[in-house]
Structure 1
Amino acid sequence: MRSPSKRRHRKLTKPRRFLRPPEPEPQPQPVRERRVPVPRLRHFPDQGHQTEDYSDLVDASEFPPPYPLKWIYERMERHLPPALLRAPRGKKLEYMQRILAGQAPSPEDFARMERCIQYRRRICSSYKPLHPQLYKMDPRAFFLPSFLRAIRGNTIESFSAIIQEPTPKVYTFPMLRPAFCKMLMNEVENFQNWACREKQEINDPNSLDKPARGTTISDIGMKGMLDDLMRQFISPISKVLFPEFGGGCLDSQNSFVVPYGGDDDGLSFGEDDNGMRMHVDDSDITLNVCLGKEFADGEIYFVGRRCRNHVNSVPEREETFIYSHVVGQALLYHGRHRHYVCPTSGFRNNMIMRCKSSLFNEVIKCKVDFPDWCSECLREHNASRRNILEP
């Protein structure tokens, strides 16, 4: 029989049981606020809309813009989405102020815009056109019948009847009548002679040209006709051929005529001057049409599309394409498609229209469904994956 002292000792040394502390109640997670998409401004204004009166607004900023706020808001209101056009004035004003707060140009940009406006006003008030019929859209006088039939059809089949794709995403098709090409060249030459007599400086349309040889025809009173050309004729084709690059929502253009080879205003350009080194255009979609005169050579070499990080990378042999100019025949390609121009023998004029889509460029900034990738990026990505997977 065991002694009681040992039992007492065993009882005293028996391990105690500790209760677990109560688990804290889960904290309620905050409800994620659903992001409501903000309606965007329309590309083309509602000209028949009666705008509100914004005369009571005063610009109190340190650098006031060259235009009164009344002028800005009245024109912006015509671009509002249809749902906002019928909203109260305060709601429309708040929406437009939000846009201006994030996208207001800098004072330098305002000054540049003002200089451009004054430059156009000075030319339009002083220069007398040689061919006034060029300043208003006349499809039958400007375009070939085959091009007009394709536009009226506005289908893939009608476009395929005239458009060829000699290399991926570079398209060619007959477009302009020879008479129109000749009139446009004569108009540009007449403007240059007038500018020389009046000692009027001509804005340089292309910073790659040294010295400046081109003429921005948007600045000499043709902007309305060129806007119609973009909206009614280039945009329908681009919507089918370049839907991934904003081809269906083009809303701005910069058009100019640039000469290659020969003598220009008494200046002789050698073989190294009348070509153009490899570059990309400041555009989403570029239209390039040969206007003519007597020339040889001057081919365009397309060397593939690249993103901004690989624009100077070495082109692959299979993506190089050489195009020889034909008078009145158009080239249509993506602005990021790298190309360069060979020296021209003789004299050649080309009309170049650089089109942009503000909606597409806004999406590009947000990187939504449009990552800035190219074939070089894909090649580097696949190489990095192989290095990771290899033991």
Structure 2
Amino acid sequence: MGDFYVCSCFYTHNFYIKELGLHAIYISNEQFLNQYSKVLKQHGYSTAERTQSILSQLENELQRRENLGPAFLHRKAVIREKYKMLHPEIFQLKTEFLQPEFLNLVNYCKESDATVDGVMLYLEETQGYIYITFFSFGPLYIFMLFGIYGHFLFLQLSMDEIGFNDFITTLRVEYMQHIARLLFPECGGGNLDSHKAFIVKYKVGEDLDLGYHYDNAEVTLNVSLTDSYQGGSLYFGDMRTVPLPDTECSEYNHVYGVGVLHRGQHMHGALPIYSGLRYNLITWMRSSKIRNQLCPMCNNKPDLVKTVGYGDGFTSDVQQTADVQQTADVCSLT
């Protein structure tokens, strides 16, 4: 793996404030209070005492982002040293973990004459920009995964940190990339060279839902790992550049073990659950050929800052060819 980078906007943009339903730019307290004074007043944050809680959140999030690299390496080292993993056999992806329908789809996509129309014959459902595949882990694999991940749920670790980098890399390169090459060519689907994978948890009394947003990814895979909950459907609008008032949302109910594959720039959210627990494995797959041209978070040519691991999927190869530039424009701006 070569060097990967983040864009400098990682330290200034997209600071999510749940109370305000806002993804904000944060450079300093003064800048934030000036830029978002109207929003703050609309939500009743009209005094210094009221706004201090918001400012503390922003300061803590900036510190977290600045320490992300060293903290990532430290956690990986601690886990490697102190934990003996259950089910070591599941850290490498094997075909027996995957459903036959999904393997048939991937094998078709590898054929030289495969077409989008042919891919559609293997899909369970399509809704606009959404592609819902037959992808599935078997129940035994999911059971073993929770046997491992259960030790670390309270730490909110990424899959890479607990040893699944090779697993997710194999999933991305040998399986998902063949599908994405046909479905999402304008988003670099055939050149997905990095990823970020993590498990999200929704529970009554804790996180119930997720607001309308887009992902820091070219292609997203969202696999349902549980069926012991009610509510929590996904809803999808349009691509992120389409104004919200002009968007009609469609709803998708998760199916245990099934993966939803969609463009990262496709606006979506999760409705509240009202009973049980919901877990989903999220894999953000990234194409440096796309994002090297235009950062999807600040809409500028990326200002690179070196980091550890895959960072945000940028590389130092920022050669701009007409071919790649056109591809970047289509994915990012439609």
TM-score when scaled to structure 2?
0.65
Residues 222-237 of structure 1: pairs in structure 2 closer than 5 A:
222-237=164-179
Give the equivalent residue in structure 2 for 1:244.
186
In the aligned structure 2, how far is the partner of 1:325 from the partner of 1:343?
A: 13
Give the equivalent residue in structure 1 for 2:277.
347
Q: CA deviation at 1:164?
A: 4.0
In the aligned structure 2, how far is the partner of 1:349 from the partner of 1:252?
A: 23
Give the equivalent residue in structure 1 for 2:198.
256
User: Out of 362, 376, 380, which is 2:292 matched to?
Assistant: 362
Give the equivalent residue in structure 1 for 2:32.
none
Give the equivalent residue in structure 2 for 1:185.
146
Q: CA deviation at 1:218?
A: 1.5
In the aligned structure 2, how far is the partner of 1:231 from the partner of 1:240?
A: 14
User: Out of 95, 104, 108, which is 1:149 matched to?
Assistant: 104
Residue type at the aligned position of 1:334: R
Contact 2:134 2:258 in 1 (8 A): yes
Give structure 1 stretches of 5+ with no counterpart.
Answer: 1-44, 46-74, 77-98, 197-201, 203-213, 263-267, 375-391
Q: CA deviation at 1:279?
A: 1.0
Partner SS, residue 347 of structure 1: strand
Aligned residues: 243
In the aligned structure 1, how far is the partner of 2:333 from the partner of 2:169?
A: 31
In the aligned structure 1, how far is the partner of 2:233 from the partner of 2:74?
A: 37
Give the equivalent residue in structure 2 for 1:288.
222
Contact 1:127 1:191 in 2 (8 A): no
In the aligned structure 1, how far is the partner of 2:268 from the partner of 2:182?
A: 23
Identity %: 26
CA-to-aligned-CA distance 1:46-72 (integer Å, 9 cap, x gap): xxxxxxxxxxxxxxxxxxxxxxxxxxx
Q: CA deviation at 1:166?
A: 2.4
Give structure 2 stretches of 5+ with no counterpart.
Answer: 12-62, 295-300, 302-319
Q: CA deviation at 1:178?
A: 2.0
Residues 70-85 of structure 1: pairs in structure 2 closer than 5 A:
none
In the aligned structure 1, how far is the partner of 2:216 from the partner of 2:184?
A: 16
Q: CA deviation at 1:293?
A: 3.9
Matched, 1:216 2:158: yes
User: Out of 126, 129, 136, which is 1:166 matched to?
Assistant: 126
CA-to-aligned-CA distance 1:241-282 (integer Å, 9 cap, x gap): 0000111100111111111124xxxxx32xxx4111111111
Q: CA deviation at 1:221?
A: 0.7
CA-to-aligned-CA distance 1:325-360 (integer Å, 9 cap, x gap): 000111011111111111112111110000111111
Contact 2:227 2:255 in 1 (8 A): no
Change in 2 beyond 3 A, CA 1:144/1:296 = same
Matched, 1:326 2:255: yes
Residue type at the aligned position of 1:322: E
Change in 2 beyond 3 A, CA 1:326/1:358 = same
User: Out of 74, 84, 92, which is 1:128 matched to?
Assistant: 84
Q: CA deviation at 1:110?
A: 8.9
In the aligned structure 2, how far is the partner of 1:279 from the partner of 1:217?
A: 22
Matched, 1:138 2:72: no
In the aligned structure 2, how far is the partner of 1:161 from the partner of 1:178?
A: 25
More strand by share: 2
In the aligned structure 1, how far is the partner of 2:290 from the partner of 2:158?
A: 24
Partner SS, residue 84 of structure 2: coil
Q: CA deviation at 1:146?
A: 1.1
Contact 2:124 2:134 in 1 (8 A): no
User: Out of 245, 261, 264, which is 1:335 matched to?
Assistant: 264
CA-to-aligned-CA distance 1:56-92 (integer Å, 9 cap, x gap): xxxxxxxxxxxxxxxxxxx67xxxxxxxxxxxxxxxx
In the aligned structure 2, how far is the partner of 1:127 from the partner of 1:315?
A: 51
In the aligned structure 1, how far is the partner of 2:277 from the partner of 2:68?
A: 33
Partner SS, residue 237 of structure 2: strand
TM-score when scaled to structure 1?
0.56
Q: CA deviation at 1:315?
A: 4.1
Give the equivalent residue in structure 2 for 1:373.
333
Q: CA deviation at 1:162?
A: 2.2
Tell which has more relative contact order, 1 or 2 (C-alpha 8 A, sep 6+). 2
Contact 2:219 2:263 in 1 (8 A): yes
User: Out of 112, 117, 121, which is 2:73 matched to?
Assistant: 117
Give the equivalent residue in structure 1 for 2:33.
none
Give the equivalent residue in structure 1 for 2:26.
none
In the aligned structure 2, how far is the partner of 1:356 from the partner of 1:219?
A: 18
Contact 1:303 1:315 in 2 (8 A): no
**Root mean square deviation of aligned Cα:** 2.9
Contact 1:151 1:159 in 2 (8 A): no
Partner SS, residue 258 of structure 1: strand
Contact 1:254 1:353 in 2 (8 A): yes
In the aligned structure 2, how far is the partner of 1:174 from the partner of 1:368?
A: 33
